[in-house]
Structure 1
Amino acid sequence: MEKEIHQIPPRIVILVTPGMGHLIPVIEFAKRLISFYPDFLVTFFIPTDGSSVKAQKKVLNSLPKFITYMFLPQVNFDDLSDDVKAETRMCLTFSRSLSSLRVALKDIMGSSRVVALVVDSFGTDAFDVAKELDLPHYIFITSSAMWLAFLLELPKLDAIYSGEYKDMPEPLKLPGCVPLHGIDFVDPCQDRMNEAYKWLLHLSKRHSYADGILVNSSIDIEPGCLKVLQDGNPDTPPVYAVGPLIRTCDDANSEETDGSECLKWLDGQPLGSVLFVSFGSGGTLSNEQLTELAIGLEMSEQRFLWVVKSPSDTAANATYFSAHSVKDPFGFLPKGFLERTKGIGLVVSSWAPQIQILSHGSTGGFLMHCGWNSTLESIVHGVPLIGWPLYAEQKMNAVMLYDMKIALKPKFDVNGLVRREDIAQVVKTLMDGEEGMKVRNKIEELKCAAVAVLRENGSSTKSLCKVALKWKNHNYKYQ
């Protein structure tokens, strides 16, 4: 009987946080797993909160037949106020989907050999369901190893420090990581009385319950942190560095355009001459900051390709739960800006084929929001950075990127704005300065290392194989 069970293809179920930024890396993980172990099956369970799923479906429908997906029934948020934090919304999406997750898991376990449940950092409440079903449960960290180290440390920090973290007199020294000042902690940690912080603390305490933790990073990108996580604390679950996992094309992400305008324009620009400017799928600037950025780019006299979105004066992640801005962003640009920069710059609305742009020979720099997906894409393609964090854990990422010397830091004023003169200066420095050349050389070194870890005998491939074999050998029990 046991022999017959092990002849059934092993399946893992991945519970995904809503949002393209979380979906993309786990999709790439699933594709890579199956490329090495074709007998595996992967099913995504995706909780829904009422946000548009059109972009997600386009990506999911393009996947190989061995990867399937299911949207869980939509949860009800009628009791939430309009100003609820994004982190609270994500956590509630998971917690209110547990009953439907239980039903879906039981159903799929009745017809196939499920060997593990893999969840996002925001989905660790699902461990309770996994334990009920005697199912091994893992976490997939879609951000950095430093983010994992921070989550593991947060319960201890909460117990010993009673004030607001932004007022901490000394930086937090996570083993193997660059010191972090409280003001650079993840957004929910800026107000410990907020519900979002309470959720983050609750979920962080559950990370130690995992049977293992996969991280979208590599030993070459975060050597000190990963060494400590993998070798240091006996209370930490096994940590598998399986990255950098990035999307290989943007074709399925485009809803209304194929991005050919951007690529044709880049084809006509000199080698390494263009600064790509984009703040990710969820990032938005204020009206004032949008104006400062536009004029700063113009003052720099450098070539640029800018993905512009309509501004928001209320939230830096205003477009996180939607694929595109509702209003035409061009109407918010300074008068005459498009005419004055015609030829030297190209401005596109809301979306551009980021992978193709970063891999294009004419792209010589990237002004970005320090989201982890974009960071890894930049490293893999060897594009030097200007790190301009907006929300979530992006300030933490930025501190690390500055310390690694693969990103320049813009000058923020007391109001958190980057003024036009400082924008012009940091752009000139990256694209045509001595310091920019040092950044370019450093990220080129990292690019070579990032390619090596994903080869057949690379460290990240070995980590993937290690956890995959563990799953394959799981002593499965029929439900």
Structure 2
Amino acid sequence: MAKTTNIAVVSIPAFSHQASIVGFCKRLVHLHDHFHVTCIFPTIDAPIPATLAMLESLPSNIDYTFLPPVQKQDLPQNASSLVLVQTAVSYSMPSFRDLLRSLVSTTSFAALVADPFTNEAVEIAKGEFNLLSYIYFPISAMTMSLLLHLPKLHQQVLCEYKDHKEAIQIPGCLPLQGHDLPSDFQDRSCVDYELILQRCKRLPLADGFLVNSFYEMEKGTLEALQEHCKGSNNNNSCVYLVGPIIQTEQSSESKGSECVRWLEKQRPNSVLYVSFGSGCTLSQQQLNELAFGLELSGQNFLWVLKAPNDSADGAYVVASNDDPLKFLPNGFLERTKGHGYVVTSWAPQTQILGHTSTGGFLTHCGWNSALESIVLGVPMVAWPLFAEQGMNVVLLNEGLKVALRPKINENGVVEREEIAKVIKGVMVGEEGNEIRGRIEKLKDAAADALKEDGSSRMALYQFGTQMENVGKCLSYSLMEVTK
């Protein structure tokens, strides 16, 4: 019987990152059933309810622990969500150190796998416990390449990125305009950018990188990343594309959801699903324009509605308790009754995207949502709001050509006529058919990557085998010590 190989993983207090790394852990222990994984979660105030629900279905060889919560009142006031999350992670590091010391002293641990924004944990794991340490990127290989090269880019570009006249070239990636770089990069004097820059400088500490993407989608980027790692100071560290990793389990709540029952009554490919993820919010003005744009398009829609907020990441850490319906334009629900359905709480996204009635997805293009749309073959209206979403849209719109991107006016607003135009472009007509054909091919490539001999499965197998070998060496070392 194979000896147990123990690893720990640590994420940030954000559901999208936690869901992705837990999905990675499930796939790892399914392929290597003698692995045991301990998931470690820093926490703000209390565990995220969606995370608690997700953790109910863990297999027996994955367990988890929440670090003592950091109170939101002790974090910087009026700070961005990025600063809140990163400060909470930093405050949690003493607790993480104590937990890791306890785990290592009682069990032979092979490695730590950390979110890129918990890489302070990598310093602790390598410097104090001599553990192999890996970074798991729940984002694209394209964004990973940007983060690896940011310290060099910071020196090369002396002005604000959005004011840089030429396209910015990141190795292995499509050319980027400065305004498409992550929102936290747009003011280089702010604390958000400085925090990211500090963490990017730590990335070369890692012994390897795992990325939630797949070879057939980001082949050129992977090759550039591998070349970069060979020439860097991190000992020829490996890059493993192990995706697409998405949430696929259906809860009892999703099976009986009213919006799914509504979908059952619609024609195939006739419904546009509208959702900006768990953390993104629109301003009141933009919410109005979206409502009128949906109405003007004449297309059936299922809209997951959140209360407006002037900050695009207004629900990233703490969601509003306001009733979203009261912010809709007067008469909107009455005028769209019969061909529109508005959800004001949670919706089973993968079940909706996989439904035969769903023909398009208006999305903020968070990486989890983008991958879910690709895996389920749904064309996109790509509307980035913050973080690295602009880069994801460049890949989806310009590179893969599976999405349409609405134009923003000089005041930073997408107007109703433009919204209606891109919705109809995806849902009906020749352009929509061409996008549908391309995303069907990408859907097939994603499925192939996960087959027994697929690129992502083989990459995960190679990573697991490396951990097994480390585990054997640790066991042998312990035997020598105890002789």
Is TM (by shorter chain) over 0.5? yes
1:205-243 deviations in whole A, cap 9, x for unaligned?
Answer: 111110000000011111211121124542163100000
Mapped pair 1:245 → 2:242: no
Equivalence for 2:272: 275
1:294 corresponds to which letter in structure 2? Answer: A
Mapped pair 1:179 → 2:138: no
1:94-137 deviations in whole A, cap 9, x for unaligned?
Answer: 22211111110111122222111000010111122112111110
Equivalence for 2:259: 262
Equivalence for 2:283: 286
> Per-residue deviation at 1:175?
2.0
Q: In structure 2, how many angstroms separate the alpha carbons of the residues matched to 1:455 and 1:388?
A: 32
Distance 1:51 1:394, change over 3 A: farther
1:147-184 deviations in whole A, cap 9, x for unaligned?
Answer: 11000110001122222111111111112211111111
Q: 2:109 aligns with which of 108, 111, 114?
A: 114
- Where 1:110 maps in the other structure, the secondary structure is helix
2:198 corresponds to which letter in structure 1? Answer: H
Mapped pair 1:152 → 2:133: no
Asked if the contact 2:46–2:69 (Cα under 8 Å) also holds between the matched residues in 1, the reply is no
Q: 1:166 aligns with which of 159, 162, 173?
A: 162
Q: 1:389 aligns with which of 379, 384, 398?
A: 384
Asked if the contact 1:46–1:72 (Cα under 8 Å) also holds between the matched residues in 2, the reply is yes
> Per-residue deviation at 1:68?
0.5
2:264 corresponds to which letter in structure 1? Answer: D
Q: 1:371 aligns with which of 358, 363, 366?
A: 366
Q: In structure 1, how many angstroms separate the alpha carbons of the residues matched to 2:403 and 2:415?
A: 18
Q: In structure 2, how many angstroms separate the alpha carbons of the residues matched to 1:330 and 1:426?
A: 25
Mapped pair 1:405 → 2:401: yes
Q: In structure 1, how many angstroms separate the alpha carbons of the residues matched to 2:181 and 2:407?
A: 19
Asked if the contact 2:38–2:62 (Cα under 8 Å) also holds between the matched residues in 1, the reply is yes
- 1:454-465 aligned within 5 A: 454-465=450-461
Mapped pair 1:87 → 2:82: yes
2:18 corresponds to which letter in structure 1? Answer: L
- Where 2:16 maps in the other structure, the secondary structure is helix
Mapped pair 1:343 → 2:338: yes
Asked if the contact 1:250–1:354 (Cα under 8 Å) also holds between the matched residues in 2, the reply is no
- Where 2:54 maps in the other structure, the secondary structure is helix
Equivalence for 2:315: 319
Asked if the contact 2:47–2:66 (Cα under 8 Å) also holds between the matched residues in 1, the reply is no
Mapped pair 1:135 → 2:131: yes
Q: In structure 1, how many angstroms separate the alpha carbons of the residues matched to 2:48 and 2:383?
A: 28
Q: In structure 2, how many angstroms separate the alpha carbons of the residues matched to 1:325 and 1:316?
A: 13
Q: In structure 1, how many angstroms separate the alpha carbons of the residues matched to 2:148 and 2:344?
A: 39
1:65-88 deviations in whole A, cap 9, x for unaligned?
Answer: 111000011235545443212222
Asked if the contact 1:325–1:350 (Cα under 8 Å) also holds between the matched residues in 2, the reply is no
2:239 corresponds to which letter in structure 1? Answer: V
Equivalence for 1:3: none
> Per-residue deviation at 1:190?
0.6
Asked if the contact 1:387–1:398 (Cα under 8 Å) also holds between the matched residues in 2, the reply is yes
Distance 1:174 1:413, change over 3 A: same
Distance 1:233 1:19, change over 3 A: closer
Q: In structure 2, how many angstroms separate the alpha carbons of the residues matched to 1:240 and 1:402?
A: 25
- 1:181-196 aligned within 5 A: 181-196=177-192
> Per-residue deviation at 1:54?
2.3
The farther-off stretch of 66-75 and 233-242 is 233-242
> Per-residue deviation at 1:337?
0.7
- Where 2:378 maps in the other structure, the secondary structure is coil
Q: In structure 2, how many angstroms separate the alpha carbons of the residues matched to 1:28 and 1:310?
A: 29
Q: In structure 2, how many angstroms separate the alpha carbons of the residues matched to 1:82 and 1:305?
A: 36
Equivalence for 1:198: 194
1:60 corresponds to which letter in structure 2? Answer: L
1:323-350 deviations in whole A, cap 9, x for unaligned?
Answer: x531110111011110111111111103
1:157 corresponds to which letter in structure 2? Answer: L
Task: Report the count of equivalent residues.
Answer: 469
Asked if the contact 2:229–2:238 (Cα under 8 Å) also holds between the matched residues in 1, the reply is no
Asked if the contact 1:119–1:140 (Cα under 8 Å) also holds between the matched residues in 2, the reply is yes
Q: In structure 1, how many angstroms separate the alpha carbons of the residues matched to 2:464 and 2:59?
A: 19
Report the identity percentage: 46
- 1:438-453 aligned within 5 A: 438-453=434-449
Mapped pair 1:414 → 2:410: yes
Asked if the contact 1:8–1:113 (Cα under 8 Å) also holds between the matched residues in 2, the reply is no
- Where 2:303 maps in the other structure, the secondary structure is strand
2:334 corresponds to which letter in structure 1? Answer: E
Asked if the contact 2:75–2:88 (Cα under 8 Å) also holds between the matched residues in 1, the reply is no
Q: In structure 1, how many angstroms separate the alpha carbons of the residues matched to 2:320 and 2:336?
A: 23
> Per-residue deviation at 1:455?
0.5
